[in-house]
Amino acid sequence: MAMRTTRKANYPQWYQEVVSEADMAENSSSPGCMVIKAWGYGIWERIQRVMDEQIKETGHENYYFPMFIPLSFFQKEADHVEGFAKEMAVVTHSRLVNEDGKLKPSSPLDEPLIVRPTSETIIADSFSKWVKSYRDLPILLNQWANVVRWEMRPRLFLRTREFLWQEGHTVHANAKEAEDETKRMLEVYRDVSENALAMPVLVGKKPEHEKFPGAIDTYCIEAMMQDGKALQAGTSHFLGQNFAKSADIKFVNQNNAQEYAYTSSWGVSTRLIGGVIMCHADDDGMVVPPCIAPYQIVIVPIFKKPEDKEKVSAYIENLQKQLKNQTSFGEKIRVKVDSRDKPSVDKSWEWIRKGAPMVCEIGPRDVDNNGLMLKERIYLNTPEGKKIMNSDEFVANVGKRLEELQHQMYEKAKARLEQNIRTDITSPEDFAAYFANSNEWIEDGKQGKVAFVRGKWCGDTATEEILKSMKITIRCIPFDQSGTTGKCLLTGKEATLDVIYARSY
Amino acid sequence: MAMRTTRKANYPQWYQEVVSEADMAENSSSPGCMVIKAWGYGIWERIQRVMDEQIKETGHENYYFPMFIPLSFFQKEADHVEGFAKEMAVVTHSRLVNEDGKLKPSSPLDEPLIVRPTSETIIADSFSKWVKSYRDLPILLNQWANVVRWEMRPRLFLRTREFLWQEGHTVHANAKEAEDETKRMLEVYRDVSENALAMPVLVGKKPEHEKFPGAIDTYCIEAMMQDGKALQAGTSHFLGQNFAKSADIKFVNQNNAQEYAYTSSWGVSTRLIGGVIMCHADDDGMVVPPCIAPYQIVIVPIFKKPEDKEKVSAYIENLQKQLKNQTSFGEKIRVKVDSRDKPSVDKSWEWIRKGAPMVCEIGPRDVDNNGLMLKERIYLNTPEGKKIMNSDEFVANVGKRLEELQHQMYEKAKARLEQNIRTDITSPEDFAAYFANSNEWIEDGKQGKVAFVRGKWCGDTATEEILKSMKITIRCIPFDQSGTTGKCLLTGKEATLDVIYARSY
C-alpha cells in the first residue's frame, strides 16, 4: 500500500510524507523549528549512542558549554562572523513587562548574546584559560547540544532554525596532531555513517569556497540521496591557529617558548536522520536500518474472539522474553509488543510506515503451530516479504538476520552510489548538458538522469560563479586522487584535481 | 589532606572549592552561565541514564520541542507568565551587521521569542493539535533539554542562567489520572534520588504560595544539605485544566462531549549535582555515590624505575580486564587506569578530590604479591581507609562492595536527615528563637544548630510575610500528616497541617 506520493511522482513531497507518515517530526508553531517526535527522537538516541561510544573510544570526554555567546566573541574572528552573521538569533533583553495588557521585552542587556550557531568562539575562550603548557595538551572534548542558524527555507531534519548535534573541539601542540585528529574524526563519521546508518559516503576535502568559516581545511563525508543529490552528512575542520590567535590560546612548548595552539572541530547533526530517510525510505514509507531502529522487532497480536486474547498474549509474552535475550550489533535486541486497542492491520501498517525492520504478526493459529508471520521491511513488496516462520528458528537466528538486513541495505545504497558517479564526462559542453537535466528519483539498479560527476577542476575562484549559475556544487576533493591531467569541467582549462560535482541539499 | 576550606570554617566557600577541586564545573565568560566539565558532565550522564530508564519504564517516550517560544504563547496563561516574566532571555533579532567595524543586531523579528524557561506553553500548543478524542489519551512524553532563567545571583549547579534538565509533560482524560501521574513521577524522583544519588528526601506538597506558576498542585522532593538547609531536588505539577484552557487542548470524551484535557509536568535538573555535592562531599573534596560515578574504580600505577613500568602495566591491564567483567548496580563496572605522566601521589589525590569511590594504587611489590592498595573514598580518614587486598578477592567482591558503599552513604545521609528534623518545637517563640541562629555545618552523628522543623501551619496568606522576614520557607506539606491539632508556629493560631520549615537553597 504505497503512500499518496511516490518518489517518482514528486520526490520532495514524498520526503515530507515519509516524515509525517512515520510520525518522526513536524513543523512547530515556533517559526522554522521542528518538533521531533518519539520515533524520530528514538532514531536520534540510537545514533547518539553509537556515535558517543566511538567519540569516547577515541579519547574524548563530554563537556557542556553555555549556549549564549557574548557578541564581542564574534568580533574576534572575521571569517567566522562573516559566515554566520546573517543567521544568528540575538538575545537583547532579560525580562518581559506587561504594558497595557501587552507583554514587551524589557531590561536590555549591556551586551547582546548570540545563541550559538556553533561553539568555536565560546569554547576557545575556555581553552585559553585551561591551556598553559604543552603538558596540558591535547584537550579532546565533545558536547551534545542544540544550535541555531536562522534558516529562511526550513525543511524537517535537513534545515531547521534549531537543530541538535554533537560538536567536538580539540586543542593540540602542533599542526600535525590537529590535522591527524581532524582526519581521525572524519573516519569515525564515515564508519558510523556506513556501518550504523548503512549510508555509504565519499570522503574528501571541501574546496576553499565551501570551507567552514574560520577553518584552514574542512573535510567532509558526502552521501548520495535517491534523487542523485548530495547530502553533506558530517564535517571535520582543521582550524590551524586561527581561533587560537583570536582567543589567545597560547602554551609554553617543550623549548620553553610561547606558541599559539592548534585546534580542530567536527560535527554531525539531526540532519543525518534526513539522510537516512532519503537514502533508505521507499514508496511505502520509512525504512530504518536495524542498528539504529528504536525497535528492531514489533510484534502485533491478532485475535478476533476475546477468548483468543489470553492465549495469544501469553505466547507473545514468552516470545518477547526470548527475543530480548538475543543480541544483535553487540546489544540486546529491542522488541516492542503493540497491544493498543486498534485493528491489527492498521497497527502493522503503522510500523511499516515507520520502517521497523521486522514486524511479526501472531494470531491463534500461529500459537498452535509455534509460529509467526514475519514481515521484513526491506523485502515488503517481494515474494519473500512475508514468511511463516517457526518461532524457535526465528529466535535462534534473529540477531544475525538483523545484521544481514542492515548489510543488504548498505549494499543496495552502495550500488546506487557507485552506479551513479559519472566519470565519463570530460568536456564542459557534455558537463553542462548533463546538468541541464533536473534531479529525479533513481530507480534501484538503474542509472539516474542526474547524480554525481567525478571530473577535473582547475580551482580558479571564477568557477564559483559558474557553479552558482548551474546550481551545482563541488561536494569534495576526494582523498583518492588519480593524479592525471585533464580539462576542467567548468572552464576547459588544464586541471589535475579530481572533484565530485553534484546538486545538493 | 583537607582542602583549603573546611565545611565548618565556611560552608559556601567549601562548596565552591569542592566543585573547582573536583574539576566538575566553572563559571564561564558568558555571564551567569557555567561550563560543565568532564567529571561533572559524566555524573550528569549517569543520572540521565538512570532517570531516563525509569521514565521509559513508566511508559514515557522522549521528544524534542523548540527552545524558542513565541512571546504571545506566554500571554495566554497569566499566572505562568507572571512567575517567569522577570527572568526571561528574549530573542529580538536574527542577524548581525557590521557598522563602522562594530557588530550590531539587525533584522528585528516580527514577534520576539523567549528562550524556554520551561516548556508547558510550547508543548501545550502541540498537544492541542494532537489531541482530538479520548482515544488519543494519555500522551506521556519527556524531553532532555537546556532551559534559561535569568538568575541574578548565579551559583554553580544550584542556580545558573542556563541549566540542563528533563521535563515530562503528559495529557490525560480526567483529573484523577493526571494526579496519579504527577504522584507516580514524584515517586520515580524519590526512588532515583534515594537509590541512585544516595540522597534521602522528604516527599510532599508545596504550599499555595510556593506552587509552580500555573499549577493546581506542586509536589516535591526535598533533601537536607550538610548545613541543615533544604534543597528542592525535583518537582511534579498537577496542572489541572489550566494549560488545556489557555492552549485549547480539547477532546471528545466517551459520551461524545467536548472537554478540556488535564495535564501534568515534572522535572529534575543539573541542580541535583549540587545536591549530591552538599549531601556527600567532605573536607577532602567530592564524594560520588558509586551508582552515578563516571568511574567507580580508578587504578593508579606506581613505579619509580622505568624497568618496573612494563611489569606493573601488564598486571594492571589484566586486572582492569577482570574488573570490567564484573557488574554492580546491574551494569558493567566502570574502571579507569590513570596512566598520565604525573607523580602517582598527585594522581591519587586528584581522584580523591573528585570523589571516585575506589582508588587502587599498584606498585611492583603489589604485583609480586598479587595484591593492591585499596582506598575507599568514604573511609578515607578512618583506619580502614587504606587496605592491602588480594587482587582475586578484590575482583570477586568488588561489585557487591560498591553497592555496600552506596548503601552506607545513604544510611549516613538518612541518619543526618532524621536526627535533624525537630518536632519538639511547638510555640512561635521557640520557633523564632531556633531560626534566630544561622545555618552551619552539621557534624556527622550530631544535631545541628539549625535544620528542619516539622510543625503546624495555619495556612493563612499573611504567614508568607512572616516567613520572608525570618528568611525561612515551608519546604513541603508531607504526605504523612499526623492529623493532630496544635499551634501554628508562625501565628500561634490553631492549626492542623504539619509542614516542614527550613532555610533553603
User: What confidence tier does A428 reach under pLDDT thresholds 50, 70, 90?
Assistant: very high
User: What confidence tier does A1 reach under pLDDT thresholds 50, 70, 90?
Assistant: confident
User: What confidence tier does A60 reach under pLDDT thresholds 50, 70, 90?
Assistant: very high
DSSP letter, residue B32: T
**Rounded distance between C-alpha atoms, residue B65 and residue A252, angstroms:** 45
**Rounded distance between C-alpha atoms, residue B70 and residue A29, angstroms:** 8
**Rounded distance between C-alpha atoms, residue B196 and residue B333, angstroms:** 15
* Strands (E) located in A270-381: 297-301, 327-328, 331-332, 335-337, 358-362, 371-376
Domains, in order of start, for chain A: 11-280 (3.30.930.10), 295-403 (3.40.50.800), 421-502 (3.30.110.30)
What DSSP string describes B203-268? EEE--GGGS-TT-SEEEEEEEE-TTS-EEEEEEEEEEETHHHHHHT-EEE-TTS-EEE-EEEEEEE
What DSSP string describes A79-138? HHHHHHGGG--EEEEEEEEEETTEEEEEEEEEEEEEEPSS-HHHHHHHHHHH--BGGG--
**Smallest CA–CA separation between A323 and chain B, in Å?**
18
DSSP letter, residue A369: T
**Rounded distance between C-alpha atoms, residue B117 and residue B123, angstroms:** 13
Grid coordinates belonging to A434: 548533463
What DSSP string describes A192-239? IIIIIS---EEEEE--GGGS-TT-SEEEEEEEE-TTS-EEEEEEEEEE
pLDDT of B355 reads 98
ipTM: 0.97
> What phi and psi values does residue B319 have, to the nearest 5 degrees?
-60, -45
Answer yes or no: are the C-beta atoms of B180 and B42 closer than 8 Å.
no
Q: In DSSP terms, which residues pair with B300 in a beta bridge?
A: B361
Cα-based angle A85, A91, A93 (whole degrees, multiple of 5): 145
Answer yes or no: are the C-beta atoms of A127 and A172 closer than 8 Å.
no
Judging contacts by C-beta atoms under 8 Å, the chain B residues touching residue A134 are none
pLDDT of A355 reads 98
Whether B115 and A45 lie within 8 Å, measured CB to CB: no
pTM tops 0.80 = yes
How many CB atoms within 10 Å of residue B420? Answer: 20
Closest residue in A to B70 (Cα) is A30
DSSP letter, residue B282: B
pLDDT of B79 reads 87
Pairing of strands A452-457, A421-422: parallel
For A340-397, write each residue's pLDDT tens digit: 989 999 999 999 999 999 999 999 999 999 999 999 999 999 998 899 999 999 999 9
**Rounded distance between C-alpha atoms, residue A210 and residue B29, angstroms:** 31
End-to-end Cα distance, chain B: 28
pLDDT of B343 reads 94
**Rounded distance between C-alpha atoms, residue A182 and residue A210, angstroms:** 17
* Strands (E) located in B228-385: 230-240, 250-252, 258-260, 262-269, 297-301, 327-328, 331-332, 335-337, 358-362, 371-376
Q: Where are the alpha helices (DSSP H) in A281-363?
A: 306-324, 344-354
**Smallest CA–CA separation between A112 and chain B, in Å?**
8
The mean of the pLDDT values for chain A is: 97
Query: In what helix (H) or strand (E) does residue B351 lie, and over which residues does it extend?
Result: helix B344-354
Closest residue in A to B141 (Cα) is A38
Whether B41 and A35 lie within 8 Å, measured CB to CB: no
Closest residue in A to B137 (Cα) is A340
Whether A38 and B70 lie within 8 Å, measured CB to CB: no
For A303-356, write each residue's pLDDT tens digit: 988 889 999 999 999 999 999 999 999 999 999 999 998 999 999 999 999 999
Whether B94 and A88 lie within 8 Å, measured CB to CB: yes
Judging contacts by C-beta atoms under 8 Å, the chain B residues touching residue A88 are 93-96
**Smallest CA–CA separation between B357 and chain A, in Å?**
20
pLDDT of B324 reads 96
Q: How far is CA A164 from CA A46, A145, A269, A273, B80, in A?
A: 14, 6, 6, 11, 27
pLDDT of B203 reads 98
Question: Which segments of chain B have a pLDDT < 70?
Answer: none
Mutual orientation of helices B38-57 and B175-191 as an angle, nearest 10°? 140
Answer yes or no: are the C-beta atoms of A195 and A470 closer than 8 Å.
no
User: What confidence tier does A47 reach under pLDDT thresholds 50, 70, 90?
Assistant: very high
End-to-end Cα distance, chain A: 28
**Rounded distance between C-alpha atoms, residue B9 and residue B2, angstroms:** 12
**Rounded distance between C-alpha atoms, residue A242 and residue A263, angstroms:** 8
Judging contacts by C-beta atoms under 8 Å, the chain B residues touching residue A146 are 67, 145-146
**Rounded distance between C-alpha atoms, residue A359 and residue B257, angstroms:** 37
Closest residue in A to B94 (Cα) is A89
What DSSP string describes A442-470? PPTTS--SS-EEEEEE---TTHHHHHHHH
Answer yes or no: are the C-beta atoms of A334 and A370 closer than 8 Å.
no
Whether A91 and B115 lie within 8 Å, measured CB to CB: yes
DSSP letter, residue B118: S
Mutual orientation of helices B38-57 and B271-280 as an angle, nearest 10°? 110
Q: Which of A31, A92, A146 sits opposite B67 (nearest CB)?
A: A146
pLDDT > 90? residue A2? no
Closest residue in B to A123 (Cα) is B35
Grid coordinates belonging to B336: 579507569
Q: In DSSP terms, which residues pair with A36 in a beta bridge?
A: A25, B64
**Rounded distance between C-alpha atoms, residue B118 and residue B83, angstroms:** 11
Whether B90 and A92 lie within 8 Å, measured CB to CB: yes
Residue count (chain A): 505
Grid coordinates belonging to B101: 567595524
Whether B74 and A103 lie within 8 Å, measured CB to CB: yes
